[in-house]
Amino acid sequence: MTAEDFLSGQIILIDKPLHWTSFQAVNKLRWEIRRAFNIKKIKVGHAGTLDPLATGLLVICTGKKTKEINTYQAQIKEYTGTFVLGSTTPSFDLETEIDQQHPTSHITEDLIHETTKKFIGDIEQYPPLFSAIKKDGKRLYEFARAGKAVEIKPRIIHISEFEITKINGLNIDFRVVCGKGTYIRSLADDFGKALNSGAHLSALRRTKIGDFNIENGVSIKGFIAGLKG
């Protein structure tokens, strides 16, 4: 790769590590590309945010390819992960601590599999309060962290596949194929409610965006090593 290659536009498939924000990943790659090729300025952006507690596919575009970001953001995505039944958190994941316990003795494996059918197709979903969506000029998580109540409007999202891949006690492994704007954390919370219980997301990995697959992704360290090599 040359400086001109990155300026003309490249698509980089990164396997984002746990605890990194998507913003941090983009900044790190931008800095490393600039340093490697002595470039003063280059556009770098990602096609779809991953939460810090999620891992997996981050499509990063450089140079002129950044104009295609909206196209990639709109494509179908696939996720795998784990729900934990019987307990909920304010953020719907492990960003916040468990604040409520719910009954689970009535939940059977058949009920779990049957309940997934309620979430196929176009469904109404409320985004998590702990999210980066803006309302009145502020991010929702700013209201949440300040303990302020705020009205959130539901969105219509599309789920084309929702599969339970493993049941281990209260830990439910899943695979979901969904459209733009879907919050898997909200799906976890809604799934728990549909079971007349509660649930939160304990692990999440994005595996596909359109035709891009995590199998072709590289770690941030691997990408940097390739620049130096």
119/215 Cα distance (integer angstroms)? 27
Element holding 141 (H helix, E strand): helix 140-145
Element holding 161 (H helix, E strand): strand 155-168
**228 and 36 in contact (C-beta within 8 Å)?**
yes
Sign of the Cα pseudo-torsion (219, 53, 143, 147, in order): negative
Cβ-based neighbours of 156, under 8 Å, separated by 6 or more:
122, 123, 124, 125
119/214 Cα distance (integer angstroms)? 25
**102 and 87 in contact (C-beta within 8 Å)?**
yes
Strand partners, 204: 54, 81
DSSP 104: -
Q: Which residues are catalytic?
A: 51
Q: ∠180-70-155 over CA atoms, to 5°? A: 30
